[in-house]
A and B are shown apart, each in its own frame.
Chain A
Amino acid sequence: MDQLLPPEIVEAGQTFPAALAACGDLDALLRLKGAYIGREASHATRLMELLKTAPKEQKRELGAAINGLKQQWEEGLKARQTELEAAKRNRSALAATWDPALPPPQPPRGALHPLNRLMDRLVDVFRPLGFHVEEGPEVETEAHNFDGLNIPEDHPAKASSDTFYLAAHPELLLRTHTSPVQVRTLLRVAPDLAARGGIRFLAPGRVYRKDEIDPTHSPMFHQVEGMLVGHGIGMQHLKGTLEYALRALFGPDTEIRLRPSYFPFVEPGCEVDVSCPLCGATGCRVCKGSGWVEILGAGLIHPNVLTYAGIDPNEWSGWAFGMGVERMAMMLSQTPDLRLFFENDQRFLKAMGGLD
Chain B
Amino acid sequence: MWIERKVLAQEIPAAAALDTRQLCEALAALGFPVDGVAALEGTEALDVDITANRGDAMSHRGMARELAAKLQQPLAQIAAGDMVEGAPLVAVRLEAEACPIYATAVLELGEGVTPEAAQSFLRALEASPKRLPAVDASNELLLRYGHPTHAFDADAIRGEVSVRWARAGESLVTLDGVTRTLTAQDLLIADEAGPIALAGVMGGDGTKVTEATRRVLLESAWFEPKVVRATARRHSLHTDASHRFGRGADPAMAKVARDLLVARLQSWCQARLLGAWTAGAVPAPAAPVELDLALLARVAGEAVSLEAAQEALTRLGCGVAAGGQRLRVTPPTWRHDLAIAEDLAEEVLRLRGYEHIPSVLPPMEGPPEHLAPGYLQRQRVARRLAQLGFHQTVTYGFISPEADALFAGPDNPVAGRTLANPLGYEYSVLRASLLPSLKATAEQNLRQGSRQIRLFEVAPVYRSAATGPREQVALAAVWGGTLGGEDYLSPARPVQEADLAGLARDLELPGLPPIHRLAEGLFGFEVDLAALPQALDRIIPGFRPFSRFPSVERDLSLLVDLGQSYAALHQAMAAALPGDSLLELRCVDVFRHKSLPEGQQAWLLRMRFQADRTLVGEEVDGWVASALAAAESLGAKLRA
Contact = CB atoms under 8 A, between A and B. Distances in A.
B226 A154 contact: yes
Contact of B387 (A110, A130, A154): A110
A135 to B, nearest CB: 7
A113 B378 CA distance: 13
Contacts of B575: none
B391 interface: yes
A268 B299 contact: yes
B362 A228 contact: yes
26 contacts: A12-B595, A35-B595, A94-B488, A102-B488, A103-B487, A109-B389, A123-B371, A130-B368, A132-B368, A132-B372, A133-B372, A156-B233, A165-B421, A166-B417, A168-B415, A201-B369, A210-B421, A210-B423, A234-B299, A236-B300, A236-B357, A239-B358, A240-B361, A344-B394, A344-B455, A347-B448
B301 interface: yes
B491 A24 contact: yes
A76 interface: no
A111 B392 contact: yes
Nearest 10 CB-CB pairings of A with B: A197-B366, A108-B389, A236-B301, A35-B595, A260-B31, A130-B368, A197-B365, A268-B346, A262-B51, A237-B362
Interface string B402-420: 0000000000000111111
Contacts of B593: 19, 31-32, 35
A147 interface: no
Nearest to B471: A137
Residue from B392, B489, B593 whose CB has the most chain A CB atoms within 10 Å:
B392
Interface stretch (B161-169, B210-218, B348-356, B528-536): B348-356
A63 B312 CA distance: 116
Nearest to A99: B488
B422 to A, nearest CB: 7
B363 interface: yes
A131 interface: yes
Interface string A96-120: 0000001111111111110110001
B41 to A, nearest CB: 24
A142 interface: no
Nearest to B374: A135
Interface in A116-144: 116, 120, 123, 129-133, 135, 137-139
B558 to A, nearest CB: 14
A36 interface: yes
Contacts, number: 282
B357 A235 contact: yes
A160 B372 contact: no
B444 interface: yes
Given A32-B593, A154-B229, A342-B394, 12 more contacts: A19-B593, A111-B386, A130-B364, A166-B419, A169-B467, A169-B469, A220-B398, A230-B363, A235-B300, A236-B302, A239-B358, A271-B33
A165 B419 contact: yes
Nearest to A219: B423
Contacts of B359: 236, 239-240, 243
B382 A259 contact: no
A196 interface: yes
Nearest to B342: A267
A317 interface: yes
A236 B594 contact: no
Contacts of B489: 91, 94, 105
Given A11-B594, A230-B363, A345-B444, A113 B393 contact: yes
B367 interface: yes
Contact of A300 (B302, B342, B383, B393): B342
Contacts of B455: 344, 346
Given A112-B383, A170-B420, A268-B349, A241 B362 contact: yes
Nearest to A242: B359
A231 interface: yes
A15 B31 CA distance: 81
B471 to A, nearest CB: 5
Contacts of A198: 365-366
B296 to A, nearest CB: 10
Nearest to A131: B368
Contact of B391 (A135, A258, A350): A350
Interface stretch (A39-47, A51-59, A274-282): A39-47
A139 B423 contact: no
Contact of B397 (A94, A159, A170, A220): A220
A116 B394 contact: yes
A115 B453 contact: no
A185 to B, nearest CB: 11
A270 interface: yes
Interface residues of A, number: 113
Contact of A268 (B342, B370, B387, B422): B342
Interface of A: 8, 11-12, 15, 19, 24, 31-32, 34-36, 38, 40-43, 91, 94, 102-113, 115-116, 120, 123, 129-133, 135, 137-139, 154, 156, 159-161, 164-170, 172, 174, 195-201, 206, 208, 210, 212-213, 219-220, 222, 228, 230-237, 239-241, 243-244, 257-262, 267-271, 300, 302-303, 317, 341-347, 349-350, 353, 355-356
A36 B596 CA distance: 10
Interface in B447-463: 448, 450, 453-455, 459-460, 462
Nearest to B372: A133
Interface string B36-57: 0000000000000001111000
B254 to A, nearest CB: 24
A349 B233 contact: no
Nearest to B366: A197
Contact of A35 (B430, B454, B462, B596): B596
A219 to B, nearest CB: 5
Contacts of B462: 139
Contacts of B471: 137-139
A167 B418 contact: yes
Contact of A120 (B363, B379, B467, B594): B379
B29 interface: yes
Interface string B138-160: 00000000000000000000000
A228 B360 CA distance: 14
A239 B360 contact: yes
B340 A267 contact: yes
B299 A167 contact: no
A262 B54 contact: yes
A267 B51 contact: no
Nearest to B465: A169
A232 B595 contact: no
Contacts of A355: 383, 386-387
Interface string B293-329: 0000111111000000000000000000000000000
B275 to A, nearest CB: 38
A342 B595 contact: no
Contacts of A11: 594
Contacts of B198: none
A85 B374 CA distance: 52
Contacts of A138: 397, 460, 471
B535 to A, nearest CB: 15
B299 A235 contact: yes
A221 to B, nearest CB: 10
Contacts of B417: 166
B418 A344 contact: no
Interface string B569-598: 000000000000000000000010111110
Interface string B473-508: 000000000000011111100000000000000000
Given A130-B364, A168-B416, A108 B454 contact: yes
